[in-house]
Structure 1
Amino acid sequence: MLRLGGRGLLLGLAAAAAAVVAARLMGWWRPRAGFRLLIPEELARYRGGPGDPGLYLALLGRVYDVSSGRRHYEPGAHYSGFAGRDASRAFVTGDYSEAGLVDDVSDLPFSEMLTLQNWLSFYEKNYEFVGKVIGRFYGEDGLPTPELTQVEAKISKGLEAKTRALEEKHKFPPCNSEWSSARGSRFWCSPNSGGVSRDWTGVPRKLYKPGAKEPHCVCVRTTGPPSDQALDNPAHRNRGDLDHPNLEEYTGCPPVSMACSFPL
């Protein structure tokens, strides 16, 4: 069964995975033997049309030969706008207009940079890397520009935030919930609520997050030490996370009940 130590192991593995991805990103940015350097005008010739020398696209300045996926990128195909250019921004925004098919991602939040990292992993796995575009992300020497370094930093922050969110979800799993016009609202906890399997059930509480307008229902462990204390800490009150300052009981719901109902 997954106890607190097991959860810590899971979160440790998540953090380790984030570190591996960050290291992989650093490896992707470094020069590789045999790659080409293309200026944007040269890359624009690779749109897969009649007489074109090939079918390429670029993501964060890295160029991939997508000829094997021609049906997706060739002229007239759904993603043809990505061919022959670096349209990194559109991978996040979904804006396939000429104004949206650009490489400027400087104003995107770090949480959305993870989408770019996922796409980069996809192209590294499925298509051949052939070179780099001289411009926003790579200089004439093929080395990363300061802007690419900023992108890498944002991706790392996104990975850290994702790890923290996973930690919080295991600490405070979301409640099960239902609503009907006849019975009103009901919240309840189970050993698998919120998609988090665990060896405790918990009780429903309101969790207030900084910056959030409304609280949401989470299941809170009621026994043992708080999650931020060691298992063998003899000073704890055996109340689990019930005393966390961001939690509040539901009015009219018994404090130790695993379910709370609120009739209309």
Structure 2
Amino acid sequence: MARVYDVTKGKDYYGPGGGYAFFSGRDGSRAFVSGQFDEAGLIDDVRGLSSSDYLGLKQWEEFYAKDYKKVGLLEGRFYNKQGEVTEEWKQLQRDISAAVKEQDTQDSEKKVFPPCNVEWTKEKGTRFWCTAKSGGIARTWIGVPRKLFYPGRDERCACVRDTGSPSTDPGASSNRGDLDNPHLKQYQDCPPDSFECWNKAK
């Protein structure tokens, strides 16, 4: 992102004939997350990327800052002739900050609503099921599969705690866990208390 690094120690990769030689001498930031390594893709315009792509840019920036010495800045989209940041640089930082915040929110969400285990076969269709560790989240409960939905986001299968007080009100006398959360709905033809559901193949 317009920062110039001395990559001499990585010359096998960035020197002539190296696998990443196309990055040398230019700001091809977008290609780091798009994977488009031709002239059309090796550009510094990183507007309109997805949240995960902005996180990817942040990780690449951290990688270079750790492994290589910064020796300068590239005048253009992100820095002016005096080395001062531009409005586009400020917008990029806002986009990255928003992506980090969204990731933190989703990480917290996954602790309450861990992703289900999922498998698909042509013969049987899709199976969703819950265990005491699914989606990388270990816990003391198993839960039941439900569709988790939020406006503007794709639905996903979540394992939902079905006993105890709701996460949003730990002092409540309810013993239904998080089943009454308004962002949940049952899978069709799935017993509400079953730890697994099937979307049968047609």
Give the TM-score, by structure 2 length.
0.89
SS at match of 1:107: coil
1:119 matched to which residue of 2?
60
1:224 matched to which residue of 2?
164
Task: Give 1:103's match in structure 2, choosing from 44, 63, 75.
Answer: 44
Matches within 5 A, 1:245-256: 245-256=182-193
Name stretches of at least 5 consecutive residues in structure 1 with no aligned partner.
Answer: 1-59
Query: C-alpha distance in 2, partners of 1:111/1:90?
Result: 14
Measure how far apart 1:76 and its partner are: 1.8
Question: What are the Cα deviations for residues 183-224 of structure 1, in whole angstroms up to 9, with x where unaligned?
Answer: 4443221110122101111011122232346x4321100122
1:72 correspondence with 2:13: yes
SS at match of 2:32: helix
1:86 matched to which residue of 2?
27
Measure how far apart 1:182 and its partner are: 4.9
Change over 3 Å in CA distance of 1:162–1:237 after alignment to 2: same
More helix per residue: 1
Question: What are the Cα deviations for residues 156-201 of structure 1, in whole angstroms up to 9, with x where unaligned?
Answer: 0010011111112111112223344554443221110122101111
Task: Give 2:174's match in structure 1, choosing from 237, 245, 256.
Answer: 237
Letter of the aligned partner of 2:182 in structure 1? P
How many percent of aligned residue pairs carry the same amino acid? Answer: 49
The structure with the larger Rg is: 1
1:167 matched to which residue of 2?
108
1:51 matched to which residue of 2?
none
Mean alpha-carbon deviation: is it higher for 150-159 or for 203-212?
A: 203-212
Aligned residue pair count: 201
Give the alignment's Cα RMSD to 1 decimal. Answer: 2.0
Contact kept in structure 2, 1:226 and 1:236, CA below 8 Å = no
Change over 3 Å in CA distance of 1:181–1:81 after alignment to 2: closer
Change over 3 Å in CA distance of 1:104–1:259 after alignment to 2: closer
> Following TM superposition, where does structure 1 have runs of at least 4 consecutive aligned residues deviating by more than 6 angstroms?
none
Mean alpha-carbon deviation: is it higher for 79-88 or for 91-100?
A: 91-100
Question: What are the Cα deviations for residues 55-90 of structure 1, in whole angstroms up to 9, with x where unaligned?
Answer: xxxxx1111000100011111222111111111121
SS at match of 2:132: coil
Give the TM-score, by structure 1 length.
0.70
Matches within 5 A, 1:196-211: 196-211=137-152
Task: Give 1:191's match in structure 2, choosing from 132, 136, 140.
Answer: 132
Name stretches of at least 5 consecutive residues in structure 2 with no aligned partner.
Answer: none
Mean alpha-carbon deviation: is it higher for 165-174 or for 247-256?
A: 247-256
SS at match of 1:255: coil
SS at match of 2:10: helix
